[in-house]
Amino acid sequence: MRVKVRSGDTLWYYSQLFNLPLRLVIDSNPGLDAANLNPGQEVDIPGLVFIDYQVKLGDSVWRLSRERGYPLDAILLLNQSVNPNNLAVGQQLRLPLKVTWFVVDVQQPYDYQALRSDLNRLIDIYPFLRQRNIGASVMDKPIPEIRIGQGSRSVHVNGSFHANEWITTPVLVKFLNEYALALTNSGGIRGLLMYPFYELVTLSLVPMVNPDGVDLVINGLPADEPYRSNVLSYNGGNTDFRGWKANIRGVDLNDQFPALWELEVARNPTTEPGPRDYPGTAPLTEPEAIAMAELTRQSNFAHVLAFHTQGRVIYWGFQNLEPPISETMVNEFARVSGYEPVQTIESYAGYKDWFIQDWRRPGFTVELGRGVNPLPLGQFNEIYEESLGILLASLYL
């Protein structure tokens, strides 16, 4: 919700007026000099919207304040051109409304357009969320990263490395919504107050690493050439892409990292672009993998989690290079989710493998749910509740 500054107004005053932590108001207005607000400047107030209200017989701003549960000055702030002592029947007022509900509907086939629409909606209501594009896909779709929190310790979570594992994306977007909702309503999630985590931890989310692949699985053949003809050829002429994991060039993005990539090539019978398991001609040839590598190099993450499907397991080791704390962490993830911790399997060149190898910090691949990919939306609520424990634990561990 956007308001116009009056003489004497401060961000601290707005935080008191709307019962919000001052830090959230400041972070929602990064371009403003909080110490020198000028009348007429616009300020974003997070977690609120305004509704249009038509004055009825007997209405007054005092009565509306009492009925709506907002301080009188909150209504006056939104209606600065209105004479509060002379309301007319039929006159239009703006009234504040605290958002107490989920503003995104993620239980749908969740393609790239749905992601961008929902992120825009969340950022509009919760402008303390920080969005940037870390790169672009083969088909030039910007890959968004969202950050929430101002803490010195950074944690990263990503989803949809694999196209037909797209249900991981709405899981992360719903968590982002639930986190922001708790912050602006002085609330918690599963008994944990969230604002202390906002101050202690910076959470980085890349909800959809592979937007071209996700769109292919959900929406079918792209209109653009040469992608249309190529993916049809890679898929053996079949227009059913439910088994497609790769990016639009037929490269498996989670086989693209320089962590014993040569061993992954040697053990992998897939030598040509296709729906899955082709590691490419070298590490980090694909723009999506390059974007993730650059983000990670720039960010000093304390630990990372890559959300995949399926199996209800958490892989947490790589070549015994993981630090001892990784085992403690994965046991907590297992406790809160019911998933099985597995230290290692014969697999190389994955994102968490590379993170463990190069940083010697905890990295985890979390295989959500169980069944055949893409997992059905009928499993979403169960998957989300299992994921929620892991996401919360990633903030306090």
224, part of any domain = no
- Domain-ending residue, one of 50, 66, 98: 98
For residue 267, being part of any structural domain is answered with no
- The verdict on residue 71 lying in a domain is yes
* Number of domains forming the structure of the chain: 2
Looking at the structure, tell me whether residues 309 and 358 fall in a common domain: yes
* pLDDT at res. 188: 96
Q: How many Cα atoms are found within 13 Å in the side-chain-facing hemisphere of 40?
A: 0
Domain boundary among 98, 122, 152: 98
Residue 160 shares a structural domain with residue 53: no
User: Is residue 164 located within the same domain as residue 15?
Assistant: no
Return the residue matching tokens 């979390």. 366
Query: 296 and 374 share a domain?
Result: yes
Q: What are phi and psi of 150, to 5 degrees?
A: -130, 20
Residue 161's Cβ-side half-sphere holds a number of Cα atoms within 13 Å equal to 27
Predicted local distance difference test score (pLDDT) of residue 37: 96
Query: Domain check: are 92 and 119 in the same one?
Result: no
* Whether residues 165 and 302 fall in one domain: yes
Q: How far apart are the first and last CA of the chain?
A: 34
CATH number for 70 = 3.10.350.10
Question: Do 135 and 182 sit in the same domain of this protein?
Answer: yes
The dihedral region occupied by 15, where left means phi > 0, alpha psi between -120 and 50, and beta the remainder, is alpha
pLDDT value of residue 292: 99
Whether residues 73 and 183 share a domain: the answer is no
Residue 154's domain spans which residues?
112-213+283-396
Task: Give me the half-sphere count of Cα atoms (radius 13 Å) on the Cβ side of residue 164.
Answer: 19
Let me know whether 184 and 326 are in one domain.
yes
Report pLDDT digits (tens) over 31-75.
999 999 999 999 999 999 999 999 999 999 999 999 999 999 999
Residues 125 and 201 in one domain: yes
Q: Would you say residue 47 lies in a domain?
A: yes
| H or E element at residue 22 | helix 22-27
| Contact call for residues 214 and 131 (beta carbons, < 8 A) | no
Residue ranges in the chain modelled with pLDDT below 50: none
Q: Which of 72, 98, 124 is the last residue of a domain?
A: 98
Indicate whether 223 belongs to any domain. Answer: no
Per-residue pLDDT of 369-392, as tens digits, reads 999 999 999 999 999 999 999 999
**Domain at 368, CATH number:** 3.40.630.10
Which residues are known to be catalytic?
367
Q: For residue 33, give both structure tokens.
A: 């000099």
- pTM summary value: 0.96
Q: Is 181 found in the same domain as 41?
A: no
